[in-house]
Structure 1
């Protein structure tokens, strides 16, 4: 029995981590978007309903971010604009209540140093490759709990079948996420 306990401890230490190693804190995390209207003003909003996880592969020294954004959780200055962005011609929240981002395996070191994170964004039932720029932070790769990952990127809304009001609304949409990581 005394030899069994150290053997079990060694197996557990060597076993790859499964499920979520860190969670996205839904209370302190947010996502936001902005798009130019008539090339004069900007329509913007922020989403409060963001959740997901960060799965770490210690052997490969990589991590994968999975984030889901609840489209109905959008906050905007104007109730009229909020109704419009939730309507079928923009986010179509009734039929597509969630926006999903999954990163490609990303080097753990990049999570601290910053750089480009590639992955796939699914919005309105359409999945497209995207690249977000991750800002550098002071969190060491071995201690990411409590860290904030700030990502910024731009998409072409027509790639996601958002073709309404093309004369008044820019095709380019800025997206950003501030993800706070917590233990599961």
Structure 2
């Protein structure tokens, strides 16, 4: 349910029954390494002028690499996400028109990870329904350079790009 923040502003939290965050990277030998962030928080703020701002916080100590306890431990460890020192990855979008979730397109914002904060762009897909974020997922993705965030562990085995993906719904407001 949206939470009133100030006059004309509301906050809609993510729906945990439908929202998913993941990442994928490749080894230098072409193997796909995919993982999820099952522990997160986030919301969509509707600003007084009608624009939206998205906030996502992913817990690195909860990251899971599909099918591998060993890779999960490596991903959480000091050579990659370093969850002990950097427990969160945060993305806060620039304010954008509500129409973006209906048309798809570029969503720009500040990504903070591993002690580094940079502007990045994620791409929203065209929705599969008339009420994206409520009746169907808002689907987005984008890739970042590990080098830009000093994620320099395992350079001999992993390529530089990490692709993030998200499927997001918000909690339906009360009538």
Q: What is residue 38 of structure 2 aligned with on the other side?
A: 48
Q: What is residue 16 of structure 1 aligned with on the other side?
A: 8
TM-score by length of 1: 0.83
CA contact (8 A) 2:18 2:137 kept: no
CA contact (8 A) 1:29 1:50 kept: no
Normalized per residue, the structure richer in helix is: 1
Q: What is residue 90 of structure 1 aligned with on the other side?
A: 80
Larger radius of gyration: 1
Whole-angstrom distance in 1 between the partners of 2:15 and 2:41? 7
Q: What is residue 112 of structure 1 aligned with on the other side?
A: 102
Q: How far did 1:99 drift?
A: 0.9
Q: How far did 1:167 drift?
A: 2.3
Aligned CA-pair RMSD? 1.9
TM-score by length of 2: 0.87
CA contact (8 A) 1:146 1:182 kept: no
1:29 aligns with 2:14: no
Runs of 4+ in 1 over 6 A off after TM superposition: none
1:100 aligns with 2:96: no
Q: What is residue 143 of structure 2 aligned with on the other side?
A: 154
Q: How far did 1:57 drift?
A: 2.0
Whole-angstrom distance in 1 between the partners of 2:107 and 2:27? 28
Residues 60-101 of structure 1, C-alpha deviations (whole Å, 9 max, x = no match):
x31000011111222221111111011111100111111111
CA contact (8 A) 1:31 1:176 kept: yes
Q: How far did 1:147 drift?
A: 4.4
Length, aligned pairs only = 166
- DSSP-derived class of the 1:85 partner: helix
Whole-angstrom distance in 1 between the partners of 2:30 and 2:101? 35
Q: What is residue 3 of structure 2 aligned with on the other side?
A: none
